[in-house]
Structure 1
Amino acid sequence: MDENSMLKQSIIHISSLISLSHSIKVFSSKWQSIRTKLEELFTNLTAIENCESSDNLSLSITIESILATLKNCDDVARRCLDCSYVGKLHMQSDLDVLCSKLDIHTKSLSDIYAVGLLTQSYAIVVSRPSVSASRDDIRFYVNDLLSRMKIGCSDMKKQALAAFNDAVSEDERYVKICVEIDGFLNLVVNFLDGDEIQEEAAKCVSLIAGFDACRGVLIGVGVISPLIRVLECGTDLGKEFAARCLMKVTENSDNAWSVSAHGGVTALLKICGSDVDYGVELVSLACGVLKNLVGVEEIKRFMVEEGAISRFINLAGSKDEITQICSLDLLQTMGYRDESVREAIIKEGGIRAMAGILDPKSSFSSKAREVAFKGIASICFSSENSISILIYNGFMDHILYFLKYGDVSVQELALKAAFWLCGTSDEAKKLMGDAGFMPVLVRFLDSKSFEIREMAAETLSSMLIVARNRKKFVQNDQNVGGLLQMLDPGEVNSGNKKLLLSILMSLANSSSARKKIMSSGYLKNIEKLAEAEVSDAKKIVRKLSCNRFRSILNGFWHS
C-alpha cells in the first residue's frame, strides 16, 4: 500500500473510532482523553493530506505505525463497548498505553514538519471565507489554521495565527468558534512560551479576552501564568499584548489572586519603574492592571511595601499624558477609603506633584489637570496638614489664575477646585477672601450654564459665612450692585434668582451690606420680586425695612 493510500485509510479509521468512542460507557474519562488525542491526530493527518510532497521514508513509517495503533485502538474500543475485557486494571493499563502511543504519533508528525520534510511551500492555503460565509465554512477555515499551528514549521504556525488574528479583528464569529474547537485555546496558550510565535499568541489571547464570555475560558486553560512569563521575558510588543489581556481578565476581581500567586504584581511593578525603560504604552497598561488588583487589600498592602507609591508619584511627573493620567488614577484608587495610604502619598510628595500639574506655567493638558484635581480632592479632603501643603505649593493661586484666564473646560475645573477648597475649613475661606476669589466668583453668577452658576453661588455663599469676607465683599460697590443687577423680575421662577437671593440673604445680616443694597439703583428688582410673592425676596425686604425703621427711630431719639 502506498503512502497516500495509508494516509487516507488512517483518516477514515480515526473518524470511525471517534464516532465509536462516544458510545462507550466504561472508563469514560480515559476515553475522553483518547478521543481528544484522536481528534488531534485527525487534524494533523488532514493537514498532511493537504500537502504535496514526494514519498519519504519517515512519513511512510510513521503512518504505517499509526495504522497499527488504530487497529489496536479499534480492538480495545470494541472490548470496552461489549464489556468483554478480562479485568479493570488490565484494561486501564491498555488504555494508558494507547494514550501514550497516540502522543508519540502526534509528536512524530510535528518532528517531520520541524525538519522540513513537509514544507510550507507545498501546503494548500485555504482562503478566508467571505463576510457572508456560513458558520460551517468559518469552522472549516479555523480547523485548517489549527492544523497548521499544530504540525507546521515555525513560520507556518506564525502565519496561521496571524491569519486568525486578522479574522478575529473583523468578525467575532471566529472567536465563538475557536472556543468551541477542542484544543484551540490550549495550543495558543502553549505558544506564549515560544519565542518566534509569542507575539502573535499574546495578541490572540488579548483579542479573545476582549469578549466577556471568553475570559473564563482563557482562565480555565491557564492563560495567566504564561502571560506573566511574557511580561518578565517577552518582547516589548509581546509584553503590551500580555498586559492588555491581563487588564481585561482582571476586571473580574476573582482573577486577582491568580495574577498575584504567579508573581504578576512584582512583574507589573517592575514595568512601572520607568516609562523610559519600558515605553509609555506598556507602563500605562501595567498601571491599568494594577488598578484592577488593588481592590484586594492584601495585594494593595504588598504593593505599598514594595514602594509602589513613590513609583507612581514619579510617573505622575512623566511627560507622557497617558502615563501621567494612569498613575494619578491608580494613586487615587489606592487611597480611596484608606487613611494610611493617603498619608503615605502625602509623605512621599504626592500633593506637591499633583499641585505642580495644576501650575499654569506648566504645559499639562486639561485632562491631566482634571485627574490631578480629583486626586487632590480624594487624598486631601480629611487632612488639615495636606491643605496647608497644598496652599504652600500654590494650589490656591493656580485655581484663581485659571478662573480668570483659563479656557471654558479649565475654568470649570478651577471652579470645582474652589468649591472643594472652600468647604475644607473657615481658614481656607478667609485665605480665599484675601486672595480675591469673591469678585471673580460674581462674574460666574451670570454664566449660561446653570451648573456653573450654582457652583459659583454655593462657593460664594460659603465664603460669606465668614464676617471678614462679608466686609470685604461689601466694600466693593460693584459686588453688591452686580448681584442686584442680575436679578431680573421678569424671570421669577428662574433657578438663577434663587441662587442670587440666597447670597443676598447672607449679606442682609450685615448692616453695611443692607446700606449698600438700599442705596443701590437696582433695589427695585428685589422689591418687584417681593411683590410677586418670591419668599426670599420678601425676607430681604423685611430686613431692609426693619433696618430703615431703626434708622428713623435712632434719628428721632437723637434729635
Structure 2
Amino acid sequence: MNPSTPSPPSSSTSSPQTLFNLINNLLSILLLSSLSARSFTGRWQVLHSKLTSLRSSLSSLSSSPHWTDNPLLISLLPSFLSTLQRLSSLCNQCSFPSFSGGKLLMQSDIDMASASLSQSLHDLDLLLRSGVLHHSNAIVLSHPGPSSTKEDLGFFVRDLFTRLQIGGIEFKKKALESLLQLLAQDDNSPTFVAKEGNIGYLIHLLDFNDNLIREHATTVVSILASANDESRKSVFEEGGLGPLLRILETGSMPLKEKASAAVEAITADPENAWAISAYGGVLILIEACRSGSTITQAHAVGTIRNVSYVEEIKKSLAEEGAITVVIQVLVSGTSSAQAQEKAAHCISILASSGEYFRALIIQERGLQRLLHLIEDSCSLETLEHVIRAISCLSTLDSISRILSSSTTFIIQLGELIKHGNTILQQISASLLATLSISDGNKRAICGCMGSLVKLMESPKPVGLQESATEALVSLLTVRSIRKELVRDEKSLMRLVQMLDPKNELVCNKFPVMVVAAVVVGGGSQGCKKRLVAAGAHHHLQRLAEMEVAGAKKALQKLTGNRLKTIFSRTWRE
C-alpha cells in the first residue's frame, strides 16, 4: 500500500458485511467522481468502466448465500477497500483542469491503482465463476470421502484452484497440500483434477519464488504428467514442458527428479516428443544424464530414448554427443538397472536407424560394451535391447566378421535360444542364421537344436518360426549335427508332426526346409531311415502333391537312394 493512502477504518477487525458496505459506498462516489475528473480524463474513463464492472460483480456477490463466511473473500475485501480509497484520493487530485503536480508520477500512480483494481476484479470474477460461494462447504475446506459424489469432488477441486489463484502464500500452500492428498487418494483423481482444475495456473507456479510452493507444484504436475493420457495431455497443452525442462536444468536435486519424471512421461507420447528440441531440451537431458542423481539420470535417459524415435531429433542427439553419454550410462557401475535398460533400448533404436548411427556407436566402442553386458547379470529387458542392438550392428560386414569368429558370443546365443524368453530366442536365432559361423562353433552349440525345433511350433511372435528354421538349417550344414538331430526322438517326432499337412500351426515350407537340409546335405542312410520310420515319407508325398516349395526335391532325396539300394540288391540276387 502507498504510504499516503489512508488505512481503511478497522479493516482487519471489521465484519465482512461492514467492509462490503464501505466498499459499496465508496464505489458509488467514485463512479460519479471518475466522470467529473478534469485531468487525465482518458485514464479515468477506463477506470470508470472497471468500476462499473466491479459494481456488477458486487451485486452478484451479495446474492450468494455463503459469501460472508468464505475465507478467500474475507481476505480480499480489505484489499478492495484499500484500492478504492487510493483511487478516491487520486481522483480528488485530478478534479482540477490543470494538474499542478508531477504528471509522470500521477500517471504512474493511476496506472498502478488501475492494475490493482484489475487484479481484484479478476480475483472476484474467478471466485464467482467457481461457484464456491454458493456452497456451504466453502467455509471449511474438507476432503471428500470415499462416498462423495462427483459434484462434491468437482466443487472441492474448483475450490482448491480458486484458493491457489486468489489466496496468499498460506492459502496456496494449504491448497497444494490438499491437492497432493487428493491425488494420492485414488487413480481417478488425476483425471478429475485435469478436467476441473486450472492446469495452466498450476504450471505457472513452477516458477513461483516460494520454494515450498514450487516444490509442491512440481510434485503435482509430475503426478498429473505420469498418471494417464488425459492428465498428461493437459499438462503438455498448457505449456508444461518448457518450465519442467528449466527445473531439470537449474532446480534442486529433489525438483530435478520430479521434473525429469514428468518430462519422460510427456515425451512417451510421440506427438509430444518433438517439442523437446523447441526448448533446447537435448543438451539439458544430456547434462542430466551426466551429473544427475540416479533417479534423474534414469528419467533423462528414458526421455532421450523417447525422442530418439523422432527423425527430426535423432541427428541432434548424435551431434550433441548423446550416444557417448547413453553408452556411458549403459556400462556405468553406478547406473540403476532401470537406467541401463532404457539406455540399452535407446542404443538399439539408434542402431536400427541407419549406417550413420551404427558407425557412431561403433566409434564409441559400443559393440565391445554391449558384448560385455551380456556376460553381466543384467535384466532380461536390458538383455533384449542389447541383443537387438548387436543384431542391428551385425549388418555391417566388419561387425558380422567379428561376431562370427567369436566363440564366446556364439555360445551365448546358443544359451539364449535354450533359456531366454521368446523375444531373446527369436533375435538370437535370427543372428545365428545370418552369421557365417565355423563348423567348430556350430558343433559347440548343437545342444540348442531341440529348442529351435520347438520354436518352429510357436506361431507368435510373428517371424519366430522362420528365424528358428533358418538357424536350424544353418547348423545342419555339419554332418555330425544332422545325425544328432535325428537321434533326438523328441525333436524328430516334432519335426515329422509339423510335416503333417493337417498341422495348421506351422507353415509347411519350414519343416520341409529342415528335412531338406538333413537329406540334401549328404545325410547318411541312418538319417534317412529314421525320417522314413518316423513317417516323414508319407507327409512329404502329400506336400509334394500340394506343390509345397521344396517338398518334391526333399522327397526325391529321401527315397532316391532307398530305391537304388532295392534295385542293387535285386540285380545281385
Mapped contact 1:272–1:311 kept (Cα < 8 A): yes
Find the aligned partners of 2:544 and 2:25 in 1 and give their Cα distance: 93
Query: How much has 1:517 moved relative to structure 2?
Result: 3.4
Alpha carbons of structure 1 residues 322 and 174: separation in structure 2 relative to 1, 3 Å: closer
8 A Cα contact 1:193 1:230, kept in partner: no
Amino acid at match of 1:305: E
> Once the 2 structures are TM-superposed, how far is the Cα of residue 348 of structure 1 from its aligned partner?
0.9
Report what 2:444 is aligned to: 436
| Residue 372 in structure 1 maps to residue 386 in structure 2 | yes
Alpha-carbon distance, 1:322 to partner: 0.8
| Cα distance change of structure 1 residues 144 and 544 upon mapping to structure 2, 3 Å threshold | closer
Q: Distance in 1 between matches of 2:531 and 2:202?
A: 84
1:420 aligned onto 2:420: no
Q: C-alpha distance in 1, partners of 2:499/2:264?
A: 56
- 1:331: Cα distance to partner? 1.7
| Secondary structure of the structure 1 residue equivalent to 2:257 | helix
- Larger deviation: 2-11 or 455-464? 2-11
Structure 2 equivalent of residue 234 of structure 1: 251
The equivalent position to 2:395 in structure 1, one of 370, 378, 382, is 382
- Does 2:167 match 1:167? no
Q: Which whole-Å deviations, capped at 9, do the CAs of 1:321-341 have from their partners, x for residues lacking one?
A: 211111111122233332201
The match for 2:533 among 523, 532, 538 is 523
Measure how far apart 1:139 and its partner are. 4.2
> Of 467, 471, 483, which aligns to 1:459?
471
Aligned to 1:334: 350
Deviations 1:96-141 (A, max 9, x none): 77751325769999xxxxxxxxxxxxx9641112344345533443
Q: CA deviation at 1:460?
A: 1.1
Paired position in structure 2 for 1:78: none
Q: Does the aligned pair in 2 maintain the 1:415–1:455 contact within 8 Å? A: no
Q: Distance in 1 between matches of 2:349 and 2:201?
A: 35
1:313 alignment partner in structure 2: 327
The aligned counterpart of 2:132 is none
Distance 1:400 1:152 in 2: 67
RMSD of aligned alpha carbons: 4.9
- Give 1:514 deviation, angstroms: 5.2
Structure 1 unpaired stretches of 5+: 17-26, 73-92, 110-122
Paired position in structure 2 for 1:246 = 263
Please state if 1:126 is matched with 2:141: yes
CA contact (8 A) 1:193 1:226 kept: no
Instruction: Report the TM-score when normalising by structure 2.
Output: 0.69
Is the CA contact 1:316–1:328 (under 8 Å) kept in the aligned structure 2?
yes
Q: Secondary structure at the match of 1:196?
A: helix
Letter in 2 for 1:387: S
Task: Indicate conservation of the 8 Å contact 1:316/1:324, yes or no.
Answer: yes
Q: Deviations over 1:397-420 (max 9, x none)?
A: 21223445x3xxx26455324421
Do structure 1's residue 493 and structure 2's residue 502 form an aligned pair? Answer: yes
Alignment-mate amino acid for residue 377 of structure 2: S
In structure 1, C-alpha distance between the alignment counterparts of 2:161 and 2:237, rounded to whole Å: 19
Answer yes or no: is the 8 Å Cα contact 1:484–1:525 preserved in 2.
no
Unaligned runs of 5+ residues in structure 2 are 1-8, 29-44, 90-107, 125-137
Deviation at 1:491, TM superposition (A): 6.5
Partner of 1:84: none
Number of the residue aligned with 1:225:
242
| CA–CA distance in structure 2, aligned partners of residues 132 and 70 of structure 1 | 49
Quote the residue 2:102 is aligned against.
none
Q: Does 1:502 align with 2:513?
A: yes
Residue of structure 2 in register with 1:189 after alignment? 204
In the alignment, the residues of structure 2 paired with residue 217 and residue 484 of structure 1 have an alpha-carbon distance, to the nearest angstrom, of: 59
Deviation, 1:272, is: 0.9
Q: Deviations for 1:443-502, whole angstroms, at most 9, x for unmatched residues?
A: 5425796357765434212444xxxx2434345585487765553699762357955443
Q: Could you tell me which residue of structure 2 aligns to residue 207 of structure 1?
A: 223
Alpha-carbon deviations, 1:66-116, whole Å to 9, x = none?
4558999xxxxxxxxxxxxxxxxxxxx99977751325769999xxxxxxx
Which residue identity does 2:82 align to in structure 1?
A: S
Asked if the contact 2:449/2:485 (under 8 Å) is kept, the reply is: no
| Structure 1 residues 528 and 557: alpha-carbon distance in aligned structure 2, compared to 1, 3 A threshold | closer
CA–CA distance in structure 1, aligned partners of residues 77 and 502 of structure 2: 93
Superimposed CA distance per residue, residues 348-394 of structure 1 (whole angstroms, 9 cap, x where no aligned partner): 122222222222xx22222221221122223x242121223334663
Q: Aligned runs of 1:82-93 on 2, under 5 Å?
A: none
Query: Which residue identity lines up with residue 508 of structure 1 in the other structure?
Result: V
Q: Which amino acid aligns with 1:416?
A: Q
Q: Equivalent residue for 1:292?
A: 306
Report the Cα distance in structure 1 between the residues aligned to 2:302 and 2:453, rounded to whole angstroms.
Answer: 39
1:557 to 1:333, Cα distance in 2 relative to 1, 3 A: same
Q: Is the 8 A contact 2:387 2:427 kept in 1?
A: yes
> Measured at CA, do residues 488 and 449 of structure 1 come closer, stay the same or move farther in structure 2, by a change above 3 Å?
closer
Q: 2: distance between equivalents of 1:224 and 1:151?
A: 25
The secondary structure found in structure 2 opposite 1:127 is coil
**Residue aligning to 2:374:** 358
Residue matched to 1:142: 157
Q: Secondary structure of 2:329's match? A: helix
SS at match of 1:363: coil
